[in-house]
């Protein structure tokens, strides 16, 4: 059970909050590279850690992520003209490059010394990188930007990777926690038959857990590492062997999960603000590119990105972001089919991620708290299978409190130890260390 003050520390991510500052020490996925396809294309509106930002690709192909408003009269730069190496505010023509530098103030009298004004008009901007089909952003002290995380999927050839993103209407933490909760896949994602239909389309199910593994109470084993932790969920099999699922959690909110044929997927939970989270999902394979069929299968929601539609989504405070939203959502009860729930799968909800969202977007914020999308963790009743969740919370809260005291997080980007893979296997090993040793080779990143 978590104290209300620790709960608040965990979920609040705005400027100056302990967790918000901790997130500013990590590279974060900001948008898909495919959203800024060409030089001088349409800008995209973002909100990350409560900050309103605009992303654009300039005439030379460089990506900029800068503050969303012109400093002159605070007009929104999203409506600006992306032209000739900069984004020009359409109100009075002030122009900014990808580094937020003001390069033109055309409505000044000729006698005016514009260079001092331009200096003063520099916008907040954040360094960016492209990797793994994603544009990354570092929002911490710009002179201390570390190396990009060497996650294997971010290093893989583009055709070997599949990425997507969407908006979830909950606090970031209650989404992320579902990633390190092996126990729930025996229930929430359970399927009763090997195929199901969505609309008229009949698709083959890839079971997340092999047939015959009915143990819903896995024993959890966890090892803290420099990048976060690796944990194993061990289930009994009928043959007396063990079914192990070994999963990584990378600070501050990346997951890597074994996923059969795909064969590894994971997500990053980037806080939009206290009430919303942008979910980035990736799948990759080291051996070959994805086929069209595999990509279509993923896009249909059968593995991780749920069926999505592009949207300009207005947040409660009136700010609009450009994103994707799931077709199944709170307004349509996630397209739940109660007959399907009786016989086909455990929830009656089609896509895996929609199953998670149905629960995570509808947790209560407590009596009398009014509108809010942050679960009141002081009311929880945690059990042994929640140990990875408890560990992640503890590590994050400790690091956030340390940072308040001036202790910077020790970032593992310099090490090679996070170059790992998740895996799952039926195996005779009962001990986690033995399993890890036996599977050391297949859990090492090679790209």
Site for a second copy in 81-140 (CB under 8 A): 81, 89-93, 105-110, 112, 117, 120-121
Nearer Cβ to a second copy (346/413): 346
Interface with a second copy, residue 317, by CB under 8 A: yes
Interface with a second copy, residue 252, by CB under 8 A: no
Binding residue (CB under 8 A) for a second copy from 37, 312, 407, 430: 312
Chain residues 64-83 in contact with a second copy, contact rule CB under 8 A: 68-69, 71-76, 78-79, 81
Interface with a second copy, residue 37, by CB under 8 A: no
Burial of 101 (0-12, 13-18, 19+ CB in 10 A): middle
Helical (H) or strand (E) element with 231: strand 228-236
Interface with a second copy, residue 447, by CB under 8 A: no
Interface with a second copy, residue 240, by CB under 8 A: no
Closest CA to 388 of 214, 247, 226: 247
Nearer Cβ to a second copy (54/256): 54
Interface with a second copy, residue 192, by CB under 8 A: no
Nearer Cβ to a second copy (103/362): 362
Interface with a second copy, residue 406, by CB under 8 A: no
Binding residue (CB under 8 A) for a second copy from 191, 380, 413, 438: 380
Interface with a second copy, residue 219, by CB under 8 A: yes
- Of the chain, the end-to-end C-alpha distance in Å amounts to 41
Is the distance from CB of 326 to CB of 316 less than 8 angstroms?
no
Chain residues 198-217 in contact with a second copy, contact rule CB under 8 A: 216-217
Binding residue (CB under 8 A) for a second copy from 35, 179, 386, 429: 386
Q: Is 429 helix (H, G, I), strand (E, B) or coil?
A: coil
Helical (H) or strand (E) element with 173: helix 172-176
Kindly write down the DSSP assignment for every residue of 75-106, as one continuous string.
-BGGGSEE-SSSEE-TTT--EE-TT--EEE-T
Q: Minimal distance in Å, beta carbon 325 to a second copy?
A: 14
Interface with a second copy, residue 184, by CB under 8 A: yes
Binding residue (CB under 8 A) for a second copy from 60, 141, 210, 316: 316
What angle, 0 to 180 degrees and rounded to 10, lies between the N-to-C axes of helices 387-404 and 4-11? 80
Contacts of 446 (CB under 8 A, 6+ apart): 152, 286
Helical (H) or strand (E) element with 308: strand 308-314
- Binding map of a second copy across residues 330-369, x = CB under 8 A, - = no contact: xx-xx-x-x--x----xx-x-----x--xx--xxxx-xxx
Q: Minimal distance in Å, beta carbon 79 to a second copy?
A: 5
| Separation of alpha carbons 27 and 415, rounded Å | 16
Order of strands, sheet of 134-138, starting from the edge strand that comes earlier in the sequence: 27-32, 134-138, 125-131, 63-67, 51-57, 44-48
Interior CA angle at 296 toward 294 and 298, to 5°? 70
Q: Minimal distance in Å, beta carbon 380 to a second copy?
A: 6
């Amino acid at each position: 059970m978590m104290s209300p003050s620790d709960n608040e520390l965990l979920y609040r991510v705005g400027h100056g909050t302990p967790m918000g500052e901790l997130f500013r020490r990590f590279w974060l996925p900001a948008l898909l590279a495919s959203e800024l396809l060409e030089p001088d294309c349409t800008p995209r509106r973002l909100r990350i850690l409560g900050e309103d930002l605009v992303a654009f690709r300039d005439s030379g192909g460089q990506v900029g992520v800068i503050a969303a408003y012109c400093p002159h009269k605070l007009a929104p730069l999203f409506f600006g003209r992306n032209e000739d190496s900069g984004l020009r505010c359409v109100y009075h023509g002030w122009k900014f490059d990808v580094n937020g530098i003001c390069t033109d103030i055309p409505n000044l009298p000729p006698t005016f010394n514009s260079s001092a004004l331009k200096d003063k008009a520099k916008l907040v901007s954040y360094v960016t990188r492209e990797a793994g089909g994603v544009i990354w952003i570092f929002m911490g002290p710009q002179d201390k930007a570390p190396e990009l995380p060497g996650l294997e999927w971010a290093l893989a050839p583009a055709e070997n990777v599949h990425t997507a993103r969407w908006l979830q209407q909950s606090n970031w933490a209650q989404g992320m926690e579902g990633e390190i909760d092996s126990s729930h896949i025996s229930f929430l994602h359970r399927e009763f038959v090997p195929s199901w239909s969505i609309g008229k389309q009949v698709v083959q199910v890839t079971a997340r857990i092999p047939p015959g593994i009915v143990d819903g109470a896995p024993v959890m084993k966890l090892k803290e590492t420099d990048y976060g932790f690796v944990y194993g969920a061990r289930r009994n099999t009928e043959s007396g062997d063990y079914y192990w699922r070994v999963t990584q959690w990378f600070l501050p909110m990346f997951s890597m999960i074994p996923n059969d044929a795909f064969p590894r997927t994971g997500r990053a939970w980037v806080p939009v603000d206290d009430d919303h989270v942008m979910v980035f999902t990736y799948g990759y394979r080291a051996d070959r590119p994805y086929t069209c069929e595999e990509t279509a299968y993923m896009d249909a929601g059968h593995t991780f990105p749920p069926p999505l539609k592009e949207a300009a989504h207005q947040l409660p405070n009136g700010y609009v972001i450009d994103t994707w939203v799931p077709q199944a959502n709170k307004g349509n009860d996630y397209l739940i089919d109660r007959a399907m729930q009786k016989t086909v799968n455990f929830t009656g909800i089609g896509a895996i991620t929609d199953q998670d969202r149905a629960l995570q977007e509808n947790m209560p914020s407590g009596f009398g708290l009014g509108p809010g999308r942050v679960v009141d963790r002081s009311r929880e009743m945690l059990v042994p299978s929640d140990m990875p969740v408890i560990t992640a919370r503890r590590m994050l809260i400790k690091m956030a409190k340390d940072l308040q005291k001036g202790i910077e997080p020790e970032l593992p980007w310099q090490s090679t130890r996070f170059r790992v893979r998740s895996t799952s296997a039926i195996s005779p090993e009962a001990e986690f260390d033995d399993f890890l040793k036996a599977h050391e080779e297949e859990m090492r990143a090679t790209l």
